[in-house]
Amino acid sequence: MPSGVAAIIVAAGSSQRMGGQDKLFLPLGKLPVLARAVEPFQRSELVRHIVLVVNRSNHRMTRALVERLHWTKVAHICLGGPRRQDSVARGLSKLTGCEWVVVHDGARPFVSEEMVRRGLEAARQTGASVAAVPVKDTIKIAGEDGLVRETPPRKDLWIAQTPQVFRFDIISNAYAQAGEESTDDAVLVERLGYRVRLFPGSYGNIKITTPEDLRLAQALLEGMNEQL
Amino acid sequence: MPSGVAAIIVAAGSSQRMGGQDKLFLPLGKLPVLARAVEPFQRSELVRHIVLVVNRSNHRMTRALVERLHWTKVAHICLGGPRRQDSVARGLSKLTGCEWVVVHDGARPFVSEEMVRRGLEAARQTGASVAAVPVKDTIKIAGEDGLVRETPPRKDLWIAQTPQVFRFDIISNAYAQAGEESTDDAVLVERLGYRVRLFPGSYGNIKITTPEDLRLAQALLEGMNEQL
């Protein structure tokens, strides 16, 4: 198993699509969204350190949460940047002496220890891995004119999620050369020609962005509890 | 406005991912899923005829629903085929003398009259149109080896939904030449080189496939009622 694993939890978004409320501290059952996203990393025996990247207005609340939930692995709470990738870069800058980095969205509360384990295993094969689930919809590629250019075969299409796992030197290199804005970390690594392996995420591993997502998350949580 | 518009509601699926229950007759508020999918077509002044394509075990229940809800436009209730595209083909075979065909999934209960209108307007420009919403996730194209081949720019990616609208001769031609299985109707039309225009669907216009989807649909319905 990989040694020296650090997790960066990216939680510095502005929650613009949540109508003013900060999505990371909204309650989901007995815990806020962010706490559910962090707990599996705190519990996992594979993870040594956790870096939380938050925005200025949440810094104090995050510190209180770390104390209240006894997150002993949290080594840093640092402030994010204007774009997601700036936030990841700031998290990376806090890490030294680790071999593997797991990047995870603070707004994905249904990550599991098992998913983190799978991600590390997959990343060992190529140096980089991404949680993914098969696309269920038909996807169209269209131009700015609104006309369909292509309908790629659905069997080849995957929805990228987090966790995304990288060898430390690869992700550091990718971020050092990061150019235009990207929607995920793996694409920066792909651009440099590194191979990225997909591993099974979960349809339940949603990212909470809108009030509808929060409703869905509550429904998913109820479904999980019913199964206990 | 287009004249001679017929709608084909495709409702012949086996509901395999719904754990044995037929999703089309599950209640969503006061109406079953299928009824919500049909009502906007019955109400729309632009639609003249409706063809319902169902499976054998639902034929009688569908007939009763048509009577109970006074769906005066339903001209045929016909039996579907083994694949979705066989069902659409059977629906098409019932149509004569119409100029435009609107194909809609019976498992999408949140279609609206306004969406049907938009679809017809878009189809007038090219002969074919597809309801679509922008993809919010990062999509990876991967090979069978599980390695990422490409991350297409998200701004070019759209989730295809129904309604899909076609000039009658175009869709008939496409189905006459339909080869391998397809996940939507528009792709058959694209393969023949016709231009297909996207028009705005809605994120709420979900297709109910799994029990989680039904839960989401119920949450969406509650959200809509709260807004009334």
Which residues are within 8 A (CB) of A61 and not within 5 positions of it... i.e. 6 or more apart? A25
Interchain proximity A186–B212, CB inside 8 Å? no
> Best of A138, A220, A226 to disrupt the B interface by mutation (most B CBs within 10 Å)?
A138
pLDDT of residue B227: 56
pLDDT of residue B1: 43
pLDDT of residue A180: 77
- Rounded CA-CA distance B61/B63 in Å is 5
pLDDT of residue A14: 75
Global ipTM: 0.92
Q: How far is B200 from chain A (nearest CA, A)?
A: 10
Q: B183 at the A interface (CB within 8 A)?
A: yes
pLDDT of residue A191: 93
Interchain proximity A148–B186, CB inside 8 Å? yes
Closest chain B residue to A216, measured at CA: B216
Strand B157-167 and strand B128-134: pairing? antiparallel
Q: CB count, 10 Å around CB of B20?
A: 6
pLDDT of residue B226: 63
pLDDT of residue B35: 97
For the residues B189-198, what does the mean pLDDT come to?
96
pLDDT of residue B76: 96
pLDDT in tens, B122-177: 999 999 999 999 998 999 999 999 999 999 999 999 999 999 999 999 999 999 88
Q: Angle between the A168-176 and A84-93 helix axes, to the nearest 10 degrees?
A: 130
pLDDT of residue A226: 63
pLDDT in tens, B2-60: 469 999 999 998 777 777 778 899 999 999 999 999 999 999 999 999 999 999 999 99
pTM score of the predicted model: 0.89
* Residue B125: both structure tokens together: 């420009």
pLDDT of residue B135: 95
The C-alpha torsion from B168 through B171 and B172 to B177, rounded to 10°, is 160
Q: How far is B166 from chain A (nearest CA, A)?
A: 14
pLDDT of residue B96: 85
A residues 111..150 contacting B (CB < 8 A): 126, 130, 132, 135-143, 146-149
Task: Please say whether the beta carbons of B185 and B102 come within 8 A.
Answer: no
- Rounded CA-CA distance A142/A148 in Å is 4
Interchain proximity A198–B147, CB inside 8 Å? yes
* Residue B38: both structure tokens together: 């049909």
Q: What is the DSSP string of A35-64?
A: HHHHHHHHH-TT--EEEEEE-GGGHHHHHH
pLDDT of residue A1: 43
Give me the residues of chain A with pLDDT under 50, please.
Answer: 1-2, 228
